[in-house]
């Protein structure tokens, strides 16, 4: 079982889009997937028609009764609550406040261990909630998008924050950090005809922790609005996006191999 968190310091880069499409691909390939929506905007939850205040991820942090729902074949979901943005204030004074999700997962290990992959979506900030997600993760996946200067700065900023968090989480008895997660980057929204995208692709292809490069295509926008993953779309819908489904499948297979083997 592998736990991965999609995060990063910026919204709109494609975290939810890639996670949703990747989950559908994993499910098609007979992997059992648990989705955890950690963004109070609840985009992932709404993709599965599950907007609710009841029995959500918030209950994990407040000692309530979170409920995992089956939302598709091989896909279960622990939805976000729109009130999740208030959680940081509520848990701030708790002991082990960065390990509350870990504690819940340990207590529910029988359930959690049934999945092949747990995939966590986040709101773009490096707060207590995201730290809880990273603390349980094997892989932290940060999508980047082409921009003249921005993406390198975001990447460096994220790496610094991770280093700080690892440092802060060193167990004084063992001298080892409690944060084991590996950081991976993904290039998203790559266009074939812009110099920004060309530079972006060149820089990313020289990094050894980039595990996927995703081309820009309008059909990715449709996936979230139609609540249907590209890999689940019928051939007629995909005709004008020739080769894009195969492109996604190739990237997802590559990501899976890296995450499973590292």
DSSP state of 255: H
Contact 122, 85 (CB under 8 A): no
Q: Measuring CA to CA, how many Å separate 169 from each of 103, 166, 235?
A: 16, 5, 49
| In the complex, least distance from residue 36 CB atom to Mg ion, rounded to whole angstroms | 13
State the binding partner of 197 from Mg ion, ligand ADP, none, CB within 5 to 8 A by kind.
none
Contact 76, 55 (CB under 8 A): no
User: With CB under 6 A as the contact rule, which of the stretches 8-16, 28-36, 77-85, 177-185 interacts with ligand ADP?
Assistant: 8-16
- Residue spans of beta strands (DSSP E) within 49-134: 69-72, 75-78, 117-122
Residues 103-162 that bind Mg ion (CB under 5 A): none
Closest CB to Mg ion among residues 99, 118: 118
Place of tokens 């609710």: 52
State the binding partner of 189 from Mg ion, ligand ADP, none, CB within 5 to 8 A by kind.
ligand ADP
CA distance linking residue 60 with residue 131, whole number of Å: 14
The residue within the footprint of ligand ADP, chosen from 3, 5, 7, 16 (CB under 6 A), is 16
**101-104: Cβ within 8 A, 24+ apart:** 101/60, 101/61, 101/132, 101/133, 101/135, 101/136, 102/132, 102/135, 102/136, 104/60, 104/66
Is there binding between residue 16 and Mg ion (CB under 5 A)? Answer: yes
| In the complex, least distance from residue 214 CB atom to ligand ADP, rounded to whole angstroms | 5
Contact 147, 13 (CB under 8 A): no
From residue 42 to residue 81, the character string flagging contacts with ligand ADP as x (rule: CB under 6 A) and all else as - is -x--------------------------------------
The 3-state DSSP composition of the chain as helix, strand, coil percent (nearest 5) reads 50, 20, 35
Residues 185-244 that bind ligand ADP (CB under 6 A): 188-189, 214, 216-217, 220-221, 224
Taking each helix axis as running N to C, give the angle between helix 218-226 and helix 15-28, from 0 to 180 degrees, rounded to the nearest 10: 80
Count of residues interacting with ligand ADP (CB under 6 A): 16
Strand order, beta sheet including 117-122: 69-72, 75-78, 33-38, 117-122, 2-6, 139-144, 182-190, 210-215
From residue 17 to residue 46, the character string flagging contacts with ligand ADP as x (rule: CB under 6 A) and all else as - is x-------------------------x---
Is there binding between residue 13 and ligand ADP (CB under 6 A)? Answer: yes
Helices (H), 114-208: 128-136, 150-168, 195-205
User: With CB under 5 A as the contact rule, which of the stretches 21-29, 38-46, 74-82, 135-143 interacts with Mg ion?
Assistant: 38-46
State the binding partner of 12 from Mg ion, ligand ADP, none, CB within 5 to 8 A by kind.
ligand ADP
State the binding partner of 131 from ligand ADP, Mg ion, none, CB within 5 to 8 A by kind.
none
Residues 43-82 that bind Mg ion (CB under 5 A): 43
| In the complex, least distance from residue 223 CB atom to Mg ion, rounded to whole angstroms | 13
Residues in contact with ligand ADP by the rule CB under 6 A: 11-17, 43, 188-189, 214, 216-217, 220-221, 224
- Residues in the site for Mg ion, rule: CB under 5 A? 15-16, 43
């Amino acid at each position: 079982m592998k736990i991965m968190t999609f995060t990063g310091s910026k919204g709109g880069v494609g975290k939810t889009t890639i996670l949703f499409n990747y989950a559908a691909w994993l499910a098609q390939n007979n992997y059992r997937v648990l989705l955890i929506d950690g963004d109070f905007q609840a985009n992932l939850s709404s993709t599965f028609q599950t907007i609710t205040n009841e029995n959500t991820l918030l209950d994990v942090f407040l000692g309530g009764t979170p409920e995992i729902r089956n939302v598709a074949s091989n896909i279960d979901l622990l939805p976000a609550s729109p009130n999740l943005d208030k959680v940081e204030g509520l848990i701030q004074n708790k002991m082990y406040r960065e390990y509350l999700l870990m504690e819940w997962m340990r207590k529910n290990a029988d359930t959690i261990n049934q999945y092949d992959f747990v995939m966590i979506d986040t709101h773009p900030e490096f707060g207590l909630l995201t730290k809880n997600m990273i603390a349980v993760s094997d892989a932290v996946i940060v999508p980047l998008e082409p921009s003249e200067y921005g993406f390198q700065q975001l990447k460096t900023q994220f790496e610094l924050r991770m280093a700080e968090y690892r440092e802060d989480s060193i167990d004084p008895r063992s001298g080892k950090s409690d944060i084991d997660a590996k950081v991976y980057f993904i290039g998203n929204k790559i266009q074939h005809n812009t110099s920004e995208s060309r530079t972006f692709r060149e820089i990313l292809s020289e990094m050894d922790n980039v595990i996927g490069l995703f081309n820009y295509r309008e059909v990715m926008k449709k996936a979230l609005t139609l609540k249907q993953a590209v890999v689940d779309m019928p051939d007629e819908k995909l005709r004008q996006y020739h080769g894009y489904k195969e492109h996604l499948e190739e990237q997802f297979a590559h990501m899976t191999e890296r995450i499973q083997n590292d």
